[in-house]
């Protein structure tokens, strides 16, 4: 594996670990009133790693197959905790593919954030097992196939929520 691929694998692994840790902590209640802004930052940072994968040449595995692994852990507890924290703002409208499927679809922030986490975690398992090329392949493939779309949609929704909390203020009345 080239030094460039090794460096990229370490970079993405670091972003993935930070995202998973941050998402877990925020789902668990850390963050208080800043939860939405902190989630926006987490998604933006991991999206940078995705953009790096998207700008890289295709990662091709020898034999073009992924080594078998055991089942990934279930992230439903994190998803449920996020859904509870988001309440009525969990569901939002999104266009899945602005070039092919232009219909508006209902998305859930809790689903999007955990879908990203699941794909990142799967790649981290390869990385931790000493298979950085397989990790890169998985992260790149799943970025184009699933988590890139979910991260982008979640980032737009979170940015809108943060903007609403900052800009939608009740005008103060002044006494005359």
What are the residue ranges spanned by the domains of the chain? Answer: 3-167
Query: Longest C-alpha distance within the chain, in Å?
Result: 78
Tokens at residue 55, please?
């700008």
Task: Give the model confidence (pLDDT) of 19-58 as tens digits.
Answer: 999 999 999 999 998 999 999 999 999 999 999 999 988 8
What is the pTM for the complete model shown?
A: 0.88
Using pLDDT thresholds of 50, 70 and 90, give the confidence band for residue 112. very high
Instruction: Tell me what pLDDT residue 59 has.
Output: 85
Task: Give the model confidence (pLDDT) of 98-107 as tens digits.
Answer: 788 788 889 9
Pairing of strands 101-108, 91-97: antiparallel
Instruction: Tell me what pLDDT residue 138 has.
Output: 94
State the Rg of the chain over Cα. 18
Residues 6+ apart with CB under 8 A from 76: 114
Rounded to whole angstroms, the Cα distance separating 68 from 128 reads 14
Fold observed for domain 3-167: 1.20.120
Distance of CA 171 to CAs 2, 108, 174, Å?
Answer: 58, 31, 9
DSSP string of 66-128? PPP-PPPPP-HHHHHHHHHHHGGGSEEEEEEETTTEEEEEEEEHHHHHHHHHHHHHHHHHHHH
Rounded to whole angstroms, the Cα distance separating 81 from 128 reads 27
Tokens at residue 107, please?
């998305």
Q: Round the average pLDDT of the chain to a whole number and report it.
A: 90
- CA torsion angle 74 77 78 81 (round to 10): 160
Cβ atoms within 10 A of the Cβ of 67, count? 10
């Amino acid at each position: 594996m080239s030094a460039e691929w090794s460096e990229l694998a370490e970079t993405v692994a670091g972003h993935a670990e930070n995202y998973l840790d941050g998402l877990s902590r925020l789902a668990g209640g850390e963050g208080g009133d800043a939860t939405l802004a902190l989630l926006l930052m987490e998604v933006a940072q991991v999206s940078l790693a995705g953009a790096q994968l998207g700008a890289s040449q295709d990662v091709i595995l020898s034999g073009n197959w992924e080594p078998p692994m055991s089942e990934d852990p279930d992230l439903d507890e994190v998803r449920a905790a996020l859904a509870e924290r988001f309440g009525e703002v969990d569901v939002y409208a999104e266009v899945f593919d602005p070039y092919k499927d232009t219909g508006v679809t209902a998305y859930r922030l809790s689903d999007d954030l955990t879908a990203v986490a699941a794909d990142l975690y799967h790649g981290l398992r390869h990385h931790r097992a000493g298979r950085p090329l397989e990790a890169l392949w998985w992260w790149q493939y799943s970025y184009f196939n699933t988590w890139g779309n979910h991260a982008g949609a979640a980032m737009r929704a979170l940015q809108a929520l943060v903007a609403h909390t900052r800009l939608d203020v009740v005008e103060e009345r002044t006494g005359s």
